[in-house]
Amino acid sequence: MEPIQHQMMGYDRTITMFSPDGRLLQVEYAKKTVRLGNTAIGMVCRDGVILVTDKRIVDKLVVPEAIEKIFQIDDHIIATASGILSDARVLIERAQIKAQQHRVTFDSPIEVISIVKDICNLKQMCTQSGGLRPFGVSLLIAGIDENKPVLFETDPTGIFYQYKATAIGEGETEIEEILHKEYKDNMSMEEGLKICVKALKKVLDNNFNHERIDAAFVNKDKKVLEKFPKEVILKLLK
C-alpha cells in the first residue's frame, strides 16, 4: 500500500494533473473540505423554498446574531454554503453583482439557473488552470423562478444539480436519509422547517442549541427573503 500512496503523492501537487486512475486529487480534497463544514439543508415546498443551516458557534463570546450563514443574492434568490466560507463570500458577491447587472440591463429579475451556471463556470475554471486551487465550498442556491420554487446544489468541481430537498456539510449523509424518508412533494414551508430542525437536532446531538439555527425562506408569492423567527423554531423543538 505504501508504494501506491507514494506514487499518488505527485499527482496531488497540481490541479491540472490527472492521476493514473483518472482523478483530480485536489478537487477531491476540496470536496472533503465541504464535508467538514457546517451542515446546511435546502427544501422546496408548495408555498416557497427554505434554507436551514447550522451557524456553528465556536466561542460562547461570539454574538450569534452576527454570524451570517444565509445570504441574499437578489430579492428572490438566497444561498447558503458549507466549506471555506471566505470562498463562499467571493462567489456570493459575484452573484449579487450579476443579479443587479441583469436588473439594470433587462429591467427584470434574473433566473436562478443563470446565477447557478455563472458560479459553476468559475468553479470549473479553477479545476483546469495552473496556479489556482478549487473553491473549497459547496453552495445551496434557492429562489423563485416564475412563481415556481427551485433549489440547486453546486459542488467544488463546478457540477450543479436541481433538488427537491438536499443537504451539504458535516451531517449530509444522515440528513439525506431523513429527507428521503420524510420529504413529501406537497409540504408547506412550516412542515418542511420542522423536518429540517429535527434533522439538525439529531445530527448535532449534544451540541444542539436553537441559537445555532439560521433559517430563511422565500415565499413564492412575495418573492423576498424572510427569516423564520426564533419563536417559531423554539415552538418546533417542544
- pLDDT in the model for residue 131: 84
- What's the whole-number mean pLDDT along residues 20-36? 91
Mean pLDDT of the chain: 92
113 pLDDT exceeds 90? yes
Close Cβ partners of 225 (under 8 Å, ≥ 6 residues apart): 70, 72, 75, 78, 216, 217, 218
Confidence of residue 201 (pLDDT cuts 50, 70, 90): very high
Mean pLDDT is lowest, of 16-25, 82-91, 116-125, 177-186, for: 16-25
pTM: 0.92
* pLDDT one-digit tens code per residue, 71-81: 999 999 999 99
> Considering only CA atoms, which of 81, 52, 85, 83 is closest in space to residue 210?
52
DSSP labels, 157-177: TS-EEE-SEEEESTTHHHHHH
- pLDDT in the model for residue 70: 96
Rounded to whole angstroms, the Cα distance separating 119 from 95 reads 7
> Considering only CA atoms, which of 82, 35, 76 is closest in space to residue 95?
76
- What's the whole-number mean pLDDT along residues 80-100? 97
Whether the Cβ atoms of residue 31 and residue 127 lie closer than 8 Å to each other:
no
- pLDDT in the model for residue 5: 52
> 3.40.50.1580, 3.60.20.10, 3.40.50.300, 3.40.630.10: which CATH number matches 27-237?
3.60.20.10
- pLDDT in the model for residue 6: 47
Distance separating the N- and C-terminal Cα atoms of the chain: 51
3 pLDDT exceeds 70? no
2 pLDDT exceeds 50? no
> Considering only CA atoms, which of 138, 54, 129, 53 is closest in space to residue 92?
138
Q: What is the dihedral of CA 216, 218, 223, 227, to 10 degrees?
A: -20
- pLDDT in the model for residue 8: 55
* pLDDT one-digit tens code per residue, 130-162: 888 999 999 999 999 988 999 999 999 999 999
- pLDDT in the model for residue 118: 98
94 pLDDT exceeds 70? yes
- What's the whole-number mean pLDDT along residues 36-50? 96
